[in-house]
Amino acid sequence: MIKNKKYIIVTGGCGFIGSNFIHLINELEPETKIINIDCLTYAGNIDNLKGINEQNHFFIKENITNTEAILNKLPVKEISAIVHFAAESHVDRSIQSSNNFIISNVVGTHSMLNLAKHLNIKKFLHISTDEVYGSLGYEGAFTEDSPIKPNSPYSASKASSDLLAYSFYKTHKLPVIITRCSNNYGKLQYPEKLIPLTILRAIENKDIPVYGKGDNIRDWIHVKDHCEAILLLLNKGKEGEVYNIGGNKEVKNIDIVKIILNKLNKPDSLIKFVQDRKGHDFRYAIDFSKIKKQLNWSPKANFEDMIDKTIKWYQQHPEWCENILNKDYQDYISKQYRSSI
């Protein structure tokens, strides 16, 4: 347990998982004060934090690569932990252009590790992804000992940042923990990712792009389960360790789309198969027995119930959706899927 966990830094706290994590901390540990560092890329949205206790939230609009500016803006220097979410997170964008991925994910993580060392923090949680392990066939699941074999510029940048984080643990004794989680779904997710993309386009009766034949398989975890695992590791995880986090719910992409269409009473004819993603990983599956055994964590969400809840959340927040579905977003979607949809 971290002593005097009064102030923690959360990077990327205006993104999907980071904002859900801040809401969770607000609910479960109202005494913890959060310093949220986020430069608000297209994926960052300060509205994601509506409803949190502003007394406990200090927002620093800054790029994580800019250590000096961050140091100057910190409200206090006694910070117990850093939970590092900030990253470029979308595989398709990394295929279009990978520069920002190297800068934010590799250089940015390196800057945050140096900041953590300088501040003498007691825990550094590096939030990574199962994608660093590469792709599986129909059998097996990734364990923490699986080889790192990333296939996309996104996953390669995350793998690089994992290695840097581990090197700071070994070399500088920085108390680093690395988490590798599967695909998240839930409220506040930018609609370039499969589930919110499908929900929002289906609501508008627009074609839904599906790569290849939609046979690729992902393991899905509700974002609250992921955030609870992170909070548990922040309090009780062992430094120098990697922890896999999974949802125990493998589903083919095409089935995800059909489930959502069915729940929204929309026809399967909205599905448009488009040219497959370059280097598309076939399957991810996570063996999370380590965190289960050490810390008694397992995902709690029932997939059917939480998909329902997720769909309802997007339906009940038209103003959030409208703000996101702006011209930049529409330009991105039409460029990404060209004339296919």
Query: Going by C-beta distance under 8 Å and a sequence separation of 6 or more, which residues neighbour residue 159?
Result: 132, 148, 150
Residues within window 157-186 making contact with ligand NAD, judged by CB under 6 A: 158, 181, 183-184
Among the listed residues 5, 7, 8, 15, the single contact to ligand NAD using CB under 6 A: 15
Residue 41 contacts ligand NAD per CB under 6 A: yes
Closest CA to 11 of 45, 51, 38: 38
Stretch that binds ligand NAD, among 7-15, 230-238, 303-311, 332-340 (CB under 6 A): 7-15
Among the listed residues 16, 101, 168, 243, the single contact to ligand NAD using CB under 6 A: 16
Among the listed residues 8, 9, 10, 14, the single contact to ligand NAD using CB under 6 A: 14
- Among residues 154, 185, 243, 284, the one annotated as catalytic is 154
The smaller minimum CB distance to ligand NAD, of residues 15 and 209, is found at 15
Residue with tokens 């922040």: 234
Residue 63 contacts ligand NAD per CB under 6 A: yes
Residue 246 contacts ligand NAD per CB under 6 A: no
Q: Active-site residue 88, yes or no?
A: no
Among the listed residues 36, 89, 94, 198, the single contact to ligand NAD using CB under 6 A: 89
- Among residues 130, 162, 192, 281, the one annotated as catalytic is 130
Q: Please count the other Cβ atoms lying within 10 Å of the Cβ belonging to residue 103.
A: 15
Q: What residue is closest to ligand NAD based on CB? A: 15
139 secondary structure, DSSP code: S
Q: How far apart are the first and last CA of the chain?
A: 51
Residue 108 contacts ligand NAD per CB under 6 A: yes
- Please state the closest distance from residue 153 (CB atom) to ligand NAD, in A: 13
- Please state the closest distance from residue 281 (CB atom) to ligand NAD, in A: 13
- Please state the closest distance from residue 339 (CB atom) to ligand NAD, in A: 27
Stretch that binds ligand NAD, among 36-44, 115-123, 137-145, 311-319 (CB under 6 A): 36-44
The smaller minimum CB distance to ligand NAD, of residues 93 and 258, is found at 93
Contact 17, 227 (CB under 8 A): yes
Residue 191 contacts ligand NAD per CB under 6 A: no
CA distance 99 to 97: 6
Q: Active-site residue 27, yes or no?
A: no
Query: Going by C-beta distance under 8 Å and a sequence separation of 6 or more, which residues neighbour residue 151?
Result: 131, 134, 135, 279, 281
Cα angle 93, 102, 238 (rounded to 5 degrees) comes to 105
DSSP annotation string for 51-66 = TS-GGGEEEEE--TT-
User: What is the rounded radius of gyration, in angstroms, for the C-alpha atoms of the chain?
Assistant: 19
Q: Active-site residue 130, yes or no?
A: yes
Task: Give the tokens for residue 246.
Answer: 């999974």
* Pairing label, strands 250-252, 217-222: antiparallel
- Among residues 131, 162, 225, 228, the one annotated as catalytic is 131
| CA 222, chain centre distance (Å) | 11
Task: Please report which helix (H) or strand (E) contains residue 75, including its range.
Answer: none
Residue 86 contacts ligand NAD per CB under 6 A: yes
Residue with tokens 């080889």: 147
- Active-site residues, by number, are 130-131, 154
Binding site for ligand NAD (CB under 6 A): 12, 14-18, 38-41, 43-44, 63-65, 85-89, 104, 108, 127, 129, 158, 181, 183-184, 190
